[in-house]
Structure 1
Amino acid sequence: MGSNSQSEVPLHEQDRSVLILPSEPLSASRPANNPPPASSTQLAEAQQAPTTRSPANGDQSSSTRGRRTTHSNVFNLLTLTELRKAAWAHIYYRGIQAGDAAISTRRVPTWKEFDALMIRRHRYIAVDPRDNRTLGWVACFHPYPQWSHLYRDDELCSWKDPLNGRQGKIAEIQIMVAEAERRRGVGTFLLTSIVTSLEADSRYSVVQANLFEDDKVACRLFEKCRFEKVAKRTCAVRMLDGPRKGEWRHLITVEYELTPMHELAMQRQQQQQQQQQSNSAEPPTAIDTTVDPNALLKRPRLE
């Protein structure tokens, strides 16, 4: 075979710009047009002139590389279903390896267990609109299984608080973001999305989350989304494995009280009115179209 080592390099390791703009080196059948030798006067003027970089050189390639690596902060929100269970499991496993997302660093629940625990109506994933790549997921569950009879959707459990129009149920949030997609606003996007989804559900009044006290990143995220710290439990859980196996850790509970239903209805009405006003044009000025027949073609009277 040939001795050229470049042909043995896989396609994904080569420079893909060659596929778009292939280079055309000068061959013997196509000689280059050599310019005439410059005079001494031209050389002196060239030395005095300021040097400029052509944008077609390396600067353009570096800027192009910078644009390619720039991440967009626009995400799409989709429902987390079984079709995304492979991406969900991968993000879950990589998320717990740091030891701040769960009491285990290698035990991932099966999709069947996750699907049975999490509320199907309120679980989402964030995907990149360019390549449909899963960036993170968020879900919620009922934190108190002994109160499961209060979460049935029948007429017997249709009581609502007269003050806020909600049934007083609690949902606990679990959120994870892919390691390579952090610091892009994915967590804020997912957290605000599920809070908005729960606000539209009159069954729930409070959203909560339990965090490790030393997980500063998660604490800042929930604080940014207006969650308030309501409780702290010392030595609440014990790590099952990992580098901190057997260590008792403190937990803090943060909560977010959902907006009353009547206030949400008023906000929707105001938004609809603003949209109608912005979309509709102003009515034309009323013009009196009444015509007096005696004034038509009437010549002025001369005195």
Structure 2
Amino acid sequence: MAHDEAVHDCSDLTSAALSGESVSDCAADTFGGVGYEEATRPSEGAVRTSSASSPGITIRPMREADAARVLAIYQAGLDTGNASFETTAPTWNHFDQGKRRRLRYVAVDPDTDHVVGWIAASRVSNRSVYAGVVEHSIYVDPSCRGRGIGRDLLNAFIDASETAGVWTIQTGIFPENGPSLLLHQACGFRVVGTRERIGRHHGVWRDVLFLERRMRDDPP
């Protein structure tokens, strides 16, 4: 991914190579009998305001009104050739159905509410044993990379996911995508292994590095 401090789509890098794009349905998982979607519902306010890494940027929950910008940023990432096996961004309906509604955030200019990056999660399985395991996708507007926005998005997502009871976040990154790999390792992800020649991209076999991050404390 160009300067992708977070321009990659893990859901189709890790899962789609085996069974097609990873698109979860939106039925509620359960944590001790509490519906997942209810347990992870964020406030409508910002979850993270300006910081030293990306001053002038606010992280807030994603809204349907953000759809056009989210998909445009998604497509810009795909166009780099190192973000995903996919080549075309999905429709909003497809995106909305495949990503957890309560674990998706955008980075915005607080003065204009202009979206400059996003992060979202999908679950990896319908089985209850994997209820606390998600895959995430994170993309930053090409014109805004190098400002620490990816780091702020990822850290905000990590905090929110742990509050929601997620115990493992997993992702896949092309080995050629060095900036994204460094970002994730800096945020506590570790490389579990390499999936060699797992899929073809523009006629070329590609490897995928599989990474995961465990929550800071053991889940209850």
**TM-score w.r.t. length of structure 2:** 0.71
What residue is the counterpart of 1:129 in the other structure? 110
AA aligned to 2:57 is F
Which residue of 112, 135, 150 corresponds with 2:128? 150
| Conserved? CA contact 1:168–1:206, under 8 Å | no
Q: Any residues of structure 2 matched to 1:242-281 within 5 Å, and which?
A: 245-260=202-217
Residue 152 of structure 2 is aligned to residue 189 of structure 1? yes
Residue 64 of structure 2 is aligned to residue 82 of structure 1? yes
Q: Any residues of structure 2 matched to 1:92-241 within 5 Å, and which?
A: 92-105=74-87, 107-143=88-124, 147-150=125-128, 169-202=132-165, 204-239=166-201
1:148 partner SS: coil
Name the structure with the higher helix share.
1
Name the structure with the higher strand share.
2
CA deviation string 1:7-54 (max 9, x = no partner):
xxxxxxxxxxxxxxxxxxxxxxxxxxxxxxxxxxxxxxxxxxxxxxxx
Shift of 1:200: 0.4
AA aligned to 1:135 is V
What residue is the counterpart of 2:25 in the other structure? none
CA distance in 1, matches of 2:74, 2:64: 14
AA aligned to 1:200 is T
Greater relative contact order (Cα < 8 A, sep 6+): 2
Q: Runs ≥4 in structure 1, deviation > 4 angstroms?
A: none
CA distance in 2, matches of 1:128, 1:169: 31
CA distance in 2, matches of 1:227, 1:96: 23
CA distance in 1, matches of 2:155, 2:138: 11
CA deviation string 1:96-135 (max 9, x = no partner):
1011111133x11111111111011100000012322211
- Structure 2 unaligned segments of length 5 or more: list them: 1-52
CA deviation string 1:123-150 (max 9, x = no partner):
000001232221100001112xxx3142
- How many residues are aligned here? 168
Shift of 1:168: 6.1
Distance change (3 Å), C-alpha of 1:100 and 1:128: same
CA distance in 2, matches of 1:212, 1:219: 8
CA distance in 1, matches of 2:164, 2:218: 9
Percent identity between the two aligned chains: 28
CA distance in 2, matches of 1:141, 1:72: 26
| Conserved? CA contact 2:167–2:219, under 8 Å | no
**TM-score w.r.t. length of structure 1:** 0.52
Larger Rg: 1
- Structure 1 unaligned segments of length 5 or more: list them: 1-70, 152-166, 240-244, 264-303
CA distance in 2, matches of 1:262, 1:227: 17
Shift of 1:257: 0.5
CA distance in 2, matches of 1:225, 1:73: 19
CA distance in 2, matches of 1:150, 1:113: 23
Distance change (3 Å), C-alpha of 1:260 and 1:234: same
What residue is the counterpart of 2:14 in the other structure? none
